[in-house]
């Protein structure tokens, strides 16, 4: 895609709004923080479509996400919305965030999955899900995640995009609170889909939360998250780790994931996993809580499963067993343990980290 929106145009727009990107020492006082701004990112926008008419209203035009971040930093805005036009974008790495504010990165909206009259998917192609018009594609070996948000104490929202062909994961959020990841298509993640780079590096999660609290993961589609190297079980649809508390996983679809589709790790407590659909996914369980680190990590607690429907076969087409078998190596709906997946390492938490609240079912056919 060719860039038509120049940085000079954006600088002029910022000046019109009373926001300076930089100034010599003593030449101008630093501008007061702005409450809300929206930056429209479109590298195909005509140069005439500048932010001049929006200036003063907290709206700007940028040709890249990196440029949008410079605008946000200069404005010192509390709440920043980045709206991506339809198109294909390189990986996004966002680090600006005002304490207590919200960072929103949103695409043009995900297409709905085509369904037949009975509510099942209309064709095999629907498994991969029609892409959103805004696509973030990892095209370089160094591009381990599609969207990284490291915004400190800010809240964060990521929505309406297709994120694909990344080695480690689709969305990575570290340390933010009140996280919302919704309406995305996350597909072709993991070492099976990224041939270049270090073959020892494999996938972790379609959505990877590190110490991010109060996350809501909703209305996303996860398909073909697969490792083919040393750790096929190491990639997950949602991976909430290191005290990522109060995560809500609801109304998502998970298909063809070589590891457990929902994984909690190291004291990630009080999650709710509700009204999701799973098909041909999982290694040990549909939802698992796991510990590593040679005994230094702790069990989770308080996670509740309700109204989920899961296909009765794992990713490798092995049978899922009733929950009474959870303390064996047989695959079940829930499981917890530590270290390597061996019988002696399964269990070991009291109380149980994961409990049922009714309405969870197995299905012999794809449940959408």
Encoding tokens for residue 339?
Answer: 């270290």
pTM of the model: 0.86
Q: Label residue 194 by pLDDT band (50, 70, 90).
A: confident
Q: Label residue 4 by pLDDT band (50, 70, 90).
A: very low
d(CA 169, CA 239): 10
Q: Which residues pair with 162 in a beta bridge?
A: 135, 185
Instruction: State the pLDDT at residue 15.
Output: 46
Model pLDDT for residues 11-69, shown as the tens digit of each residue: 444 444 455 544 344 444 455 667 899 999 997 654 434 444 344 468 999 999 999 99
d(CA 327, CA 344): 9
| CA distance readout (Å), 144 to 47, 90, 164, 359 | 33, 11, 11, 37
d(CA 124, CA 145): 27
């Amino acid at each position: 895609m060719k860039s038509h929106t120049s940085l000079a145009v954006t600088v002029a727009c910022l000046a019109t709004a009373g926001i300076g990107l930089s100034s010599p020492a003593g030449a101008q006082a630093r501008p007061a923080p702005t409450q809300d701004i929206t930056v429209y990112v479109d590298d195909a926008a005509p140069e005439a479509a500048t932010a001049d008419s929006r200036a003063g209203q907290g709206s700007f035009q940028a040709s890249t996400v990196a440029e949008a971040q410079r605008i946000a930093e200069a404005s010192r805005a509390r709440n920043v919305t980045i709206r991506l036009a339809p198109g294909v974008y390189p990986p996004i790495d966002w680090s600006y965030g005002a304490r207590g504010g919200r960072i929103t990165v949103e695409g043009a909206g995900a297409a709905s999955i085509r369904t037949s009259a009975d509510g099942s998917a209309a064709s095999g192609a629907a498994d991969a899900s029609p892409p959103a018009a805004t696509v973030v594609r990892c095209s370089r070996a160094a591009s381990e995640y599609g969207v990284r948000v490291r915004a400190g104490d800010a809240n964060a929202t990521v929505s309406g995009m297709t994120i694909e062909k990344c080695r480690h994961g689709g969305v990575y959020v570290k340390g933010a609170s009140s996280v919302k990841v919704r309406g995305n298509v996350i597909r072709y993640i993991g070492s099976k889909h990224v041939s270049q780079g270090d073959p020892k590096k494999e996938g972790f999660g379609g959505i990877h939360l590190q110490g991010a609290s109060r996350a809501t993961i909703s209305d996303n589609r996860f398909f073909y998250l697969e490792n083919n190297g040393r750790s096929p079980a190491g990639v997950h649809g949602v991976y909430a780790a290191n005290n990522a508390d109060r995560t809500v996983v609801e109304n998502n679809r998970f298909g063809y994931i070589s590891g457990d589709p929902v994984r909690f790790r190291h004291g990630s407590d009080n999650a709710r996993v509700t009204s999701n659909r799973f098909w041909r996914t999982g290694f040990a369980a549909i939802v698992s809580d796991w510990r590593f680190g040679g005994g230094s990590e702790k069990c989770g607690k308080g996670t509740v499963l309700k109204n989920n429907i899961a296909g009765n076969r794992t990713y490798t087409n092995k049978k899922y067993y009733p929950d009474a078998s959870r303390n064996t190596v047989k695959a079940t709906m829930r499981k917890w343990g530590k270290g390597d997946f061996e019988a002696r390492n399964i269990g070991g938490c009291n109380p149980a980290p994961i409990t049922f609240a009714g309405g969870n079912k197995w299905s012999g056919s794809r449940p959408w």
